Amino acid sequence: MAFGKNKKLHASNGVHYKRGVPEIIMMVITYFVYALFAFVCVYPFYYILINSISNNDLSARGKVLFYPIEPHFSNFIAVGKINGLARAALISVGRTVIGAALTVITAAFLGFMFTRETLWHRKLWYRLVVATMYFNAGIIPWYLTMMNLHLTNNFWGYIFPLVVQPFNIILCKTFVESTPKALQEAAEIDGAGTLTIFLRVILPIIKPILATVAVFAAVGQWNAFQDTLILVTDPKLYTLQFVLYQYITQANSLKAIINSQMSTESIAASLAHSQTQTSIRMTVTIIVVLPIILVYPFFQRYFTSGIMIGAVKG
């Protein structure tokens, strides 16, 4: 079949068709909407980034909008010299890694067990777990419980309350139910027990949902600061987010601290880069957000497939 010379052909699965004017218009509109949406999502972070590395005085006056002006990195160097910041970062990394690992293991195992018909009253236990998504006792009873468990001013107070999360358990349960039941039956015929089936049959085939849960758990642990506010009074256990939260709410004090730590020579040499409230807030925000942005691309492939497969019961 032949078409006119000026008409474009498009091949898809061996079928040729011409792209009409209405289709071209719709494609242009679709790409424009997607580009606009992407810009709205990306620009706020880009705005914070360029303001954190631009001339602090111009940034404070709102003159930096689309590109950095007189770029420098003295803001990051100054914030990095704050006392206790390295220890707080270590606490945050520790709670993120340990908390995410325990959350993934717990969600996977409970999600698997709730699919086992041999589990005693499994429907009752599953409904009780799901009920906690909708009902809770409140902050004061929660604090009293944590205090009675000696988890105040304790690093494990960051970990244990977030290990069992109903939403993650539901994701894992749904994903396990979408896997072939014959795999578990074959393992049982060969004499495998429940734990063996979980470790050697289930875990290898549910990696996408495990990566999804890992992303959820890691982001939640990394961004958390309210538990520090309620449970912790020991500065040695402050997380990076809580320390930076304090600095954001007290930007004037932080500005004075950073500028006071500068030597007379450095002040004279970098007067244009003296810290302002805006520069501190922008720099602190970048420090908090950047680690998650750098880690997420490595999990994106598993994250997407895990959400899509785990959302539909097979």
What's the whole-number mean pLDDT along residues 74-89? Answer: 74
What's the whole-number mean pLDDT along residues 97-113? Answer: 89
272 has pLDDT over 50: no
The whole-chain average pLDDT of the chain stands at 76
What's the whole-number mean pLDDT along residues 273-277? Answer: 62
CB-based contacts of 165: which residues, under 8 Å, 6+ apart? 103, 107, 216, 217
Can you tell me the distance from the alpha carbon of 306 to that of 225, in angstroms, rounded to the nearest whole number? Answer: 28
Amino acid identity of residue 300, one-letter, is: Q
3-class DSSP state for residue 18? strand
Q: How large a percentage of the chain has pLDDT more than 90?
A: 2
- pLDDT for the residue 73: 75
H or E element in which residue 16 lies: strand 15-18
Can you tell me the distance from the alpha carbon of 69 to that of 51, in angstroms, rounded to the nearest whole number? Answer: 8
Which of 2-11, 131-140, 148-157, 295-304 is modeled with the greatest confidence?
148-157
230 has pLDDT over 60: yes
Torsion angle defined by CA atoms of residues 97, 49, 303 and 174, in that order, rounded to the nearest 10 degrees? 80
Domain with CATH 1.10.3720.10 in the chain: 83-249
- pLDDT for the residue 5: 45
Res. 215 pLDDT band, cuts 50 70 90: confident
CB-based contacts of 219: which residues, under 8 Å, 6+ apart? 292
The architecture (CATH level 2) of 83-249 comes to Orthogonal Bundle (1.10)
In a 13 Å sphere around the CA of 48, the CA atoms on its Cβ side amount to 15
**Residues 143-162 pLDDT 10s:** 888 888 888 888 888 888 88
- pLDDT for the residue 185: 76
115 has pLDDT over 50: yes
DSSP 218-274: HHHHHH--HHHHHH---GGG--HHHHHHHHHHTHHHHHHHHHHHS-HHHHHHTGGG-
- pLDDT for the residue 257: 55
94 has pLDDT over 80: yes
Res. 258 pLDDT band, cuts 50 70 90: low
What's the whole-number mean pLDDT along residues 42-53? Answer: 81
